Amino acid sequence: MIDLKQNEVWFVTGSQHLYGPKTLEQVAEHSREMAAFLGASTHIPTQVVFKPVLTTPEAIRNLCLEANSAKNCIGLITWMHTFSPAKMWIAGLNLLNKPFLHLHTQYNREIPWSEIDMNFMNLNQAAHGDREFGFIGSRLRLSRKVIVGFWRDEDVQASIGVWTRAASAWADSQSGKIARFGDNMRDVAVTEGDKVEAQIRFGYDVYGYGVGDLVKVVNQASDVEIDKLVQQYLEEYDVAAELRPGGERNSSLREGARIEIGIRNFLDAGNFKAFTTTFEDLHGLAQLPGMAVQRLMRDGYGFGAEGDWKTSALVRAMKVMAAGLKGGVSFMEDYTYHFATSGDKVLGAHMLEICESIASTKPRLDILPLSIGGKADPVRLIFDANTGPAIGASIMDMGQRFRMVANVVDVVPTDQPLPKLPVARALWLPRPNLKVAAAAWIYAGGAHHTSFSYSLSAEHLRDFAEMAGIEFLLIDEKTSVEDFKDKLRWNDLYYHLSKGL
Ligand code: MN
């Protein structure tokens, strides 16, 4: 469903005519080689497309206009091999509406000590050429990512790769459509927000539907389709005996399959990339969609429960960023605590809807009662999540702006088996510890819902927030509550002033 290879990042080198055609030919040759190298890097999931060296304001402006209208172009990598007077870049950069990365590198790794002459110096002058370019980016107050280092180095390739993933999610968000079945869970505050502002800021559009619109499509699922899907469940999961064909509750499994087919068809027909449901509005659906949501998330759809469209959009964005990486991304909720001398832990789960992509073993497909919602028992996938480092992030509407807050955590095995817990779950130690992480999270107004990923780092989220022009707050091993509170106060001032009128 998500294919990052169709996305293009354009490799754009700036120069000028001062050095003569021979030098410019060398600049072009080097840039072509670098673009090809980065395009072939395993760290970079998109294409890297070489563009002719830019030497005039007209060429720069035209390139930026071309990038704006090129559907597959998700951003530019810019680099000044030589000196490119930055007044030439004002018109183009003012028009550019795609993200850009400033790669501060040099074609030659080392100084050829015994050979170096003024020709070499004139060709390899990114050390000051890129500073001139950096000035105009700062003077124009443009969001961009600056990466410094030799272009063949792994860490430089990795950092470019992170940015291309964030830019892919950003491009995806511009055409994002979210289907919202039912409204918000009544009286809940943090899952609400300004959908018009969200569309202006992130690009995605939230479409509201009555659950009856979905029920109609669910009821259209044929017996043949249901038979086929049930067969898939039997192959993919450890299915409870009573749910199997001939079992006492096989009809509940078939009902779960019907719901999955219906939601999938609805989303596909409307070209939706994400969706929300709410257990308070399920009229006409026999069960709360559990397994269906888990499987749709696995296939790349964003999801938020209780009408949480912001988290649904974030899960989708993080699914795009994580495409092809190990680990997985899921909707998540901080559910309950384990206070212990060995470290305070969070048990994360939801009523049902945790994505299968983070499962550590083959999920068990079972049917159990749901204590709220007043519907038939829902089928669901139950598993322990992977262990290892992960990151949870949420976006809140703070009234004047959107804020993203993220916490780096370490997922650990559960202390003991959880034989009676009927939902998928993850147990983690927040960094630096629960006391600091939860206090900072609460001061920031962080939501109880998150998008939770083992594939992504804070750098992915920071790059994405930078593209969206939203606030980004990280809670990790370096966080102190007092410094964090200061940051919140300063950010309030900054975002108030930077917005202007
Ligand atoms: Mn919830």
Q: How far is the CA of 333 from the centre of ligand 1 (A)?
A: 6
CA pair distance 303, 292, nearest whole angstrom: 11
Cα–ligand 1 centroid distance for 331 (angstroms):
9
Extended beta strands in 159-233, E state: 177-181, 205-209
Dist. CA 395 → ligand 1 center (Å): 14
- What is the 123 CA–ligand 1 centroid distance (Å)? 58
Euclidean distance between CA atoms 412 and 146, whole angstroms: 35
Cα(305) to centroid(ligand 1), Å = 6
pLDDT given for residue 309 in this prediction: 98
**Quick one: pLDDT at residue 22?**
93
Q: How far is the CA of 352 from the centre of ligand 1 (A)?
A: 10
Residues 6+ apart with CB under 8 A from 163: 75, 99, 101, 145, 147, 463
Q: How far is the CA of 475 from the centre of ligand 1 (A)?
A: 22
Question: How far does the centroid of ligand 1 lie from the alpha carbon of residue 481, in Å?
Answer: 26
> What is the per-residue burial (b if ≥16 Cβ within 10 Å, else e) of 200-230?
ebbbbebeeeebeebbebbeebeeebbeebb
Task: Using the mean position of ligand 1's atoms as its centre, give its distance from the Cα of residue 427 in Å.
Answer: 17
pLDDT confidence of residue 201:
96
**In three state form, how does the secondary structure of 311-340 look?**
HHHHHHHHHHHCCCCCCCEEEEEEEEEECC
| Interval between CA 131 and ligand 1 midpoint (Å) | 48
Q: What is the pLDDT of residue 370?
A: 82
CA of 165 from ligand 1 middle (Å) equals 28
pLDDT at 208: 97
**Two tokens at 165?**
């993933």
Phi, psi of 402, deg, nearest 5: -95, 140
CA-CA distance, 382 to 198, in Å (whole number)?
Answer: 34
- Residue 449 Cα, ligand 1 centroid: separation in angstroms? 6
Are the beta carbons of 151 and 37 closer than 8 angstroms? yes
Distances (CA, A) of 292 to 304, 352, 422: 13, 10, 16
Task: State in Å: Cα 163 to ligand 1 middle.
Answer: 30
Distance 332 CA to ligand 1 centre (A): 8
pLDDT of residue 374: 75
415 burial (CB, 10 Å; 0-12 / 13-18 / 19+) is exposed
3-state SS, residue 178: strand
Distance (angstroms) between ligand 1 centre and the Cα of 113 equals 63
Question: 308 C-alpha to center of ligand 1: Å?
Answer: 8
Give the contacts of 196 (CB within 8 A, at least 6 positions apart): none
3-state helix, strand, coil in the chain (%, to 5): 40, 20, 35
- Distance from C-alpha of 159 to C-alpha of 41, rounded to nearest angstrom: 12
CA of 371 to the centre of ligand 1 (A): 14
Instruction: Determine the distance separating the centroid of ligand 1 and the alpha carbon of 279, expressed in angstroms.
Output: 10
**Ligand 1 center from residue 158 Cα (angstroms):** 34
How far is Cα 230 from Cα 257, in angstroms, rounded to an integer? 7
Residue 298 Cα, ligand 1 centroid: separation in angstroms? 19
pLDDT at 501: 60
- Average pLDDT by consecutive 10-residue portion of the chain (501 residues)? 95 94 96 98 98 97 98 98 96 98 97 96 95 98 97 98 98 97 96 97 97 98 98 98 97 97 98 96 93 98 98 98 97 98 96 97 93 84 98 97 98 96 97 98 98 98 97 98 98 89 60
CA of 467 to the centre of ligand 1 (A): 28
d(CA 413, ligand 1 centre) in Å: 23
205-209 β-sheet, strand order: 205-209, 177-181, 274-276, 302-304
Distance of CA 296 from the midpoint of ligand 1 (Å): 18
Contact by Cβ (8 Å): 302, 323: no
Ligand 1 geometric centre to CA of 350 (Å): 6
Alpha helices of 54-194 — where are they, by DSSP H? 57-69, 90-95, 118-123, 126-139, 154-174
Interval between CA 423 and ligand 1 midpoint (Å): 13
Ligand 1: distance of its center to the CA of 189 in Å? Answer: 12
Angle at which helices 309-321 and 154-174 pack, to 10 degrees? 140
Gap from CA of 306 to ligand 1 centroid (Å): 6
- Calculate how far, in angstroms, residue 114's C-alpha sits from the geometric centre of ligand 1: 66
Measured in whole angstroms, the distance separating CA 347 from the mean position of its chain's CA atoms is: 23
